Each structure stands twice: as C-alpha cells, then as structure tokens.
Amino acid sequence: MLIDSHCHLDRIDLTPYDGDFARFIAQCTAAEVTQMLCVAIDLEHYSAMRQLIDPFPQIAVSVGVHPNHEPAFQVTVAQLVELATEARCVAIGETGLDYYRSSGDLTWQHERFRIHIAAARACGKPLIIHNRDAGADIIRVLTEERANEIGGVIHCFTDSWEIAERGLELGFYISFSGVVTFKTADALREVARRVPLERILIETDAPYLAPAPHRGKPNSPHFIPLIAAVLADIHGMTLPAFAAVVRENYQRLFNVPFA
C-alpha cells in the first residue's frame, strides 16, 4: 500500500479516462495507491476541488494559495482557518517562496507565507512548504514565525543537505518527488540517503514532474511506485518495507486514519 503525499488531482487531464474521475482513481487504486493528499494552490477553485474528491474517502485535501499565484486580494488567516476546519482538510498549503518563477519586489509573497504559517499555528494543522531557489529565506521565515511549533513537510525537495538539515531541525519532514529518479539527480539522491527514515515522505506532484522513464509526460499518482522503488534502494530496503515506513510517516504527520 502506497501513499502519494502531494498531488493536484483537480489539474489532471481526464481525457484518457473519457472525463471520468472515478476511472482515473481506479487506476491509482490498481497501482496500490491507497491514500492521496490533493493539495490546493488557490482558493478560487477550492470548492470545485472539494466536490471532485468528496466521493473518495482515501483522498485528503489541504487549503492554501501557491506562492506564484497572484490574486487581486491577499488571503487572510481567518479565510484559511475557516476552510481548514473541514475534517478532510489535513494541512495548510502549499505555501512558501518561489524566486524562480517570481521576481521583483516579493514582499507580497513573504507576507502570504507568514499568513499561512499563522493560520497553521491557529488551527493546529501542519504546513506544506514550496521552495524554489529560496531555501535560506524559507528557513529564516519558518524560524521567525515559530513554525517548529506546528511542523509540516518541505515538498518536492531539490535543495542542499544543509537546507534539509535545517528543515529537519525545525521538525519538518522531507518529501521527494519524481526528480529523485532523474539520471542527473545524484546529489539529491545523496540528500535522500541522509534524511532519517522516520522523516521521509514521497509524492508525485502530479500532473507535474513525472518520474523516469516517463519524464516530460503527464504525471499521475499511479507512478508513485517508481519513486518509492528508488528511495527504497537508496535506504537498502525492500519496497514493501519502505512503503510501510512512508505510510506511517504520512499518517503521523497529517493525522489521517490508517487505511
């Protein structure tokens, strides 16, 4: 039984499934993906995302606004906390900083990040952190806002061991995506080797970042075994044993029932 701890199911192209989301989920189930976390990137489509996943109890959700999303108005702590009271909502995010796609005066991005941390602390739910070329500032903001008191996960980790270590010191988990399967990812695989097993999560970030040998194609949670196999090998474990560890980590962090 495998877990996809970060995917965007409302962004999946359902054309190959004749527009049938249930058929798509059946494919994931056939790949033994028993739990998924559908991560929000804006509030405009949040209600539709909730309706989409509602018939499928194995799918949890988060609520948040992606650092690259620029709505007309800044999200508030109250908005996030209100939406997070739903039982299916297990986390706040994704949130963080992105210096790759955004440039110029990013004060608004830093403010939004701090708002999300405040919301997580207010509602007692962990954070999902997005980091693109901003590792040092992310650690600084997490420290200043006492995010260690709530914890969370740095998702799709691609940064250095130094940033991973700082995140671990703050009580965060480290999640690896299909990037860890790429031929050019030797340095990232070394980071993954050093992360304690009890702090590792895995994700697809579907429909983005498909693992090898599907790189460049649409991603899906049913590819999670490819990512898990690479990380199991790094840690010298069988795939079932590694999957069991990750499942326990996921359920511990996000306080979801055991499948």
Distance CA 67, CA 110 (A): 9
Asked whether the CA dihedral 86, 63, 172, 1 is positive or negative, the reply is positive
Average pLDDT score over the chain: 95
Residue 93 CA to residue 13 CA, distance in Å, equals 22
Q: Which residue ranges make up each domain of the chain?
A: 2-254
Q: Rounded mean pLDDT of 228-248?
A: 97
CA dihedral 144, 250, 96, 49 (to 10 degrees): -140
- Per-residue 3-state assignment (H helix, E strand, C coil) for 129-141: EEEECCHHHHHHH
Whether residue 258 is predicted with pLDDT greater than 70 in this model: the reply is no
DSSP secondary structure letters along 75-135: --HHHHHHHHTSTTEEEEEEEEEETTT--S--HHHHHHHHHHHHHHHHHT--EEEEEES-H
Options 3.20.20.140, 3.40.50.300, 3.60.120.10, 3.40.630.10; CATH for 2-254 is 3.20.20.140
**For 66-96, how does the pLDDT look when each residue is reduced to its tens digit (9 = 90+)?**
998 877 778 999 999 999 999 999 999 999 9
**Is the predicted pLDDT of residue 148 greater than 60, yes or no?**
yes
Is the pLDDT confidence value at 259 over 60?
no
Backbone phi, psi, residue 206, to 5°:
-55, 145
Instruction: Please give the Cα distance from 148 to 40 (Å, whole number).
Output: 22
Both tokens of 169, joined, read 């010191």
What is the C-alpha to C-alpha distance for residues 65 and 130, in angstroms, rounded to an integer? 11
pLDDT level of residue 102 (50, 70, 90 thresholds): confident
Q: Is the pLDDT of residue 104 over 80?
A: no
